[in-house]
Amino acid sequence: MKIYKISTPGINEKEIIAFLKDEALFWRRTENTSGANETVELAGRLCYMSFGNLQSNRTNSEYIENLIDMGHESVLEHVNWSFIITGVSRGFTHQLVRHRVGFAFSQLSQQYFNASMTCMVEPNIIMKHGFLSEKWKQITNKSKEAYTELLALLDQLENENTTLSAAEKKEIKRLKYSAARSVLPNATETKIFVTANARAIRHFLDVRGSIPGDEEMRIVSAEILRLVSADSAVLFSDFYISYLSDNSPIVLKKIPGKQ
Ligand SMILES: Cc1cc2nc3c(=O)[nH]c(=O)nc-3n(C[C@H](O)[C@H](O)[C@H](O)COP(=O)(O)OP(=O)(O)OC[C@H]3O[C@@H](n4cnc5c(N)ncnc54)[C@H](O)[C@@H]3O)c2cc1C
């Protein structure tokens, strides 16, 4: 599994200065604050126009922690990250794309992309045991062979009809790939482009990061937490990564009032 952080939240300093000037406001800013954190603070302050004399002595981190404590989390939706996730299974992404709010997905198509050469994502519990791993490889290879064989047979059917238009041929191809993929397993490797805002990521980590029996989800959750925390520690400061006895990561949420 690999996650590429394609885009990170930032601010447009020139436009912020223009806004403050137009509104005759002074914003006492915390030094060395990331674009993600400043965006959240600015969105929060705009709600109350709490600039200058109306600002408390809170630092940016304290301001954001307070927003989260209050449940004023819509301001977290203004910061977004985009990732490309590779080396994950279709089984995993089937669960991932169930997250409807604050997420956008673009996934490798099995209706257009020939999966004959695709890798299979082997679960660690299987990989750890040689005999199981061997068996698993045999089974998944058979699925791939079946896919390739079916595709070749379906191709022969298509070639019999030479009077089709380009558009019809395209749909026949989609039909053919769809039929062939029906024998591919959940382990089939996929690639997915994911964009999500901070609030949605927090919800995702909360409900998905700590399920002991869902290792692939835990591994991805931990890596996402690591990547987003590098841009904004405070937005995710109530989450932390721990490790299970097999050394695999788990994302836990701090209980308020406890260290
Ligand atoms: C342990 C576990 C087991 C699961 N098992 C299954 C299973 O067996 N079968 C299955 O189909 N799914 C299962 N799921 C998926 C689960 O039901 C959710 O679809 C998935 O986790 C996405 O969560 P979500 O709806 O909270 O996220 P999002 O879709 O991102 O929604 C975020 C939040 O927005 C609100 N929201 C979103 N849409 C609506 C709406 N239409 N109406 C009201 N409020 C809304 C809710 O507060 C929701 O929590 C499981 C999830 C977990 C964590």
User: With a 6 A CB cut-off, is 207 part of the ligand 1 pocket?
Assistant: yes
pLDDT in tens, the chain (259 residues): 999 999 999 999 999 999 999 999 999 999 999 999 999 999 999 999 999 999 999 999 999 999 999 999 999 999 999 999 999 999 999 999 999 999 999 999 999 999 999 999 999 999 999 999 999 999 999 999 999 999 999 988 756 667 788 898 889 899 999 999 999 999 999 999 999 999 999 999 999 999 999 999 999 999 999 999 999 999 999 999 999 999 999 999 998 766 5
The DSSP bridge partners found for residue 196 are: 81, 103
To test the ligand 1 pocket, which listed residue (92, 99, 221) has its Cβ within 8 A of the most ligand atoms? 99
The pLDDT of residue 211 is 98
103 token code pair: 């997420």
Beta strands in the chain (DSSP E): 2-7, 80-89, 103-107, 189-197, 239-243, 249-253
Report the amino acid identity of residue 238: D
Residue-level pLDDT at 158: 59
Q: Nearest CA to 222 among 37, 35, 85, 33?
A: 85
Measured in residues, the chain has a length of: 259
The alpha carbons of the chain give a radius of gyration, in whole angstroms, of 24
3-class secondary-structure state, position 120? strand
Say yes or no: CB of residue 258 within 6 Å of ligand 1.
Answer: no
CA distance 103 to 247: 29
Closest residue by Cα to atom 11, ligand 1, is 98
* pTM, full prediction: 0.95
Q: Is 208 a catalytic residue?
A: yes
Q: What's the pLDDT at 259? A: 57
d(CA 75, CA 232): 14
CB of 211 closer than 6 A to ligand 1? yes
Nearest to 55 by CA among 41, 38, 39, 72: 41
Q: List, in order, residues 6 or more apart from 150 with CB less than 8 Å away.
A: 179, 180, 183
Q: Is the CB of 101 under 6 A from ligand 1?
A: yes
Residue nearest to atom 23 of ligand 1 (CA): 99
Question: If you take atom 4 of ligand 1, which residue's CA is the nearest one?
Answer: 95
Ligand 1 mean position, distance from CA 207 (Å): 9
In contact, 2 and 86? CB cutoff 8 Å: yes
Nearest protein CA to atom 48 of ligand 1, as residue: 101
Asked whether 99 lines ligand 1 (CB < 6 A), one says yes
CA distances from 66 to 70, 73, 86, 120 (A): 6, 10, 36, 45
